[in-house]
Structure 1
């Protein structure tokens, strides 16, 4: 059953890619080639103007955190589009033909990387030489990554909504099939908006080391798959040991500060005319992230305990490692399971009682029901902890920011540690 689901998914993407190629050929025959739209295109490093004549750097990103970092740094100096729609869990996203065209036309594509964006690798591989995004930046390569872990009481789960990375004895990296079940996430029609996957800042409808198709690789942060391969241990039979990394790198404000710096540098390289503005805005934004970091450290320094309980998945390794916190949770960060066993719930209830924990947490775009059950049995208050991987459509349209979501986390974390 799982095999058939995965085969269908791959065939679906192949069909979409075939459609995209055919559609692109029609566009090529009917419109001028990118880069020749403006009279000064010979000195313009960008691909060229869009249909409306907008010659700003066309930046496309997959996830909300990078969308927000980019708009804080660049403001109106760039055209900015987010591919994964507001209200959708990024782990279950599948691109539409319109999404593929948006990605193809990007001057700069900012992605997260990792197995949750395996769909993007397929899309990029489908583009002919010189017809895809001018530059691709993979944010997971810009910071030190940590492995997914299973802690006491946590269900390992059988499902991830994406494949695993396998590193073999010869150092090669292979993205395996998603040999898992549970690919379906329940989201409301309002949250999904499946017919409109592309969200643009202009309309308010609105992806680890640097990865480039040109000669733009930044040597100080560029580490490729073969470097990661060295982090894998070889088994006696010559096959690689499978390691899965936590992909939610932005959850640490310290990481966020580094990521913002990388984005500002890349923007300056791609759009030198606004380099000074990007640097100034980034410095101001990094100051705010430093203040946020200090707030979390203040909360933790006065905490009665260091243990936090999640009646949900746990995508916060980077955050908890940064502040020296411990956790118990129903599932790991990338699990697509949503209903823990009675044994897991009982363990979490006992842990909350044993440690006299005052709050139990759940995540955005997720059901709070398990946290509520634990709360009903223990008196602990169910509270939201926002991983910031995405926001609701209403929040997106309202212009909510990473800093605003994290400030709410400061308040809710303080309740749980008191």
Structure 2
């Protein structure tokens, strides 16, 4: 039902955008005009779906582009749907950056807000994506696939490369700048990767429990095992049998920490913690910034370092 509603809403939005375009006398601010001006001092207009894509695009673009975030801060991106304003933004963008799979609305939105000149960058395209973070190539069938590749600093570098290539395609005059900016940021991601390897390589335990199965790629990268309470979607709730199984394994392994995330109700994690005598802590899937995150000046790197501190503490307890 939700999928049908989303398609109908997007179709309606497309009609509104088309009518608005037909009513314009000058035809300015269209995607075509944007591209024709890209090399003449006008900043590239980049729309990014949700926070990690926004941050990666912002780092690569530097001051050469205006990067707009579509999913607002503090909003869980799995359930978000674009408004007419968002569709208008997308229709006028020179570049659209999205992860893939997370944005269930993206395919229909791209069709509805179509522009032959816009460069659409699916940042996770071609990367290994599956339901557990294991080794399975993407084949275009997204059902049950894990989208959370940005939580691996190694795969995040590949996403940055894809974004770099997309910006360079849209604005070839500044391709060297995008290349340089991407390299600076990827150096930070390589350092982040090195920090994770050094801190987690000698951990006393190798299994961590999460409320949401978002950390499969991170776990695989660093030789860990993610034990999720619920599935890939934060909305999925475990059955009583699944809850009992997780409780049994937690007690068997002597796990002392149950991780939850800030944008999702922690009641399931708290129930499991109560059943096992464990404590709870935050492990952030970095799907969006909270008001507190923004107030503290935190970004992707800062939040990943917080995740590293939390994991190191839990795995050595």
TM-score (norm 2): 0.88
Match of 1:336 among 235, 241, 263: 235
* Structure 1 equivalent of residue 28 of structure 2: 32
Match of 1:78 among 38, 52, 65: 65
* Structure 1 equivalent of residue 146 of structure 2: 246
Which segment drifts farther, 313-322 or 343-352? 343-352
Q: Equivalents in 2 of 1:36, 1:297: separation in Å?
A: 46
Q: Equivalents in 2 of 1:142, 1:127: separation in Å?
A: 24
Match of 1:257 among 145, 157, 175: 157
Q: Would you say 1:110 and 2:97 are equivalent positions? A: yes
Q: Which structure has the larger Rg? A: 1
The within-5 A match list for 1:5-404 is 5-26=2-23, 28-32=24-28, 34=30, 44-45=37-38, 55-114=42-101, 116-127=102-113, 131=115, 134-145=118-129, 147-149=130-132, 228=139, 243-310=143-210, 312-334=211-233, 336-337=235-236, 339-396=237-294, 399-404=297-302
Decide which structure has greater helix share: 2
Q: Equivalents in 1 of 2:251, 2:89: separation in Å?
A: 50
Secondary structure, in 3 states, of the residue corresponding to 2:281? strand
Pair 1:96–1:243, CA change in 2 (3 A) = closer
Structure 1: unaligned runs, 5 residues or longer: 49-53, 152-222, 233-241
Q: Equivalents in 2 of 1:127, 1:367: separation in Å?
A: 34
Secondary structure, in 3 states, of the residue corresponding to 2:165? helix
Cα deviation for residue 293 of structure 1 reads 0.8
Corresponding residue pairs, total: 314
Pair 1:403–1:118, CA change in 2 (3 A) = same
Aligned CA RMSD, in angstroms, stands at 2.9
Q: Equivalents in 1 of 2:116, 2:298: separation in Å?
A: 31
Which deviations, in whole Å up to 9, do the C-alpha atoms of 1:118-159 show, x marking residues without a partner? 32211222246xx466111111214222x21499xxxxxxxx
TM-score (norm 1): 0.68
Pair 1:36–1:331, CA change in 2 (3 A) = closer
Cα deviation for residue 402 of structure 1 reads 0.6
Which deviations, in whole Å up to 9, do the C-alpha atoms of 1:227-280 show, x marking residues without a partner? 826xx8xxxxxxxxx953211111100001122122223323333443333222
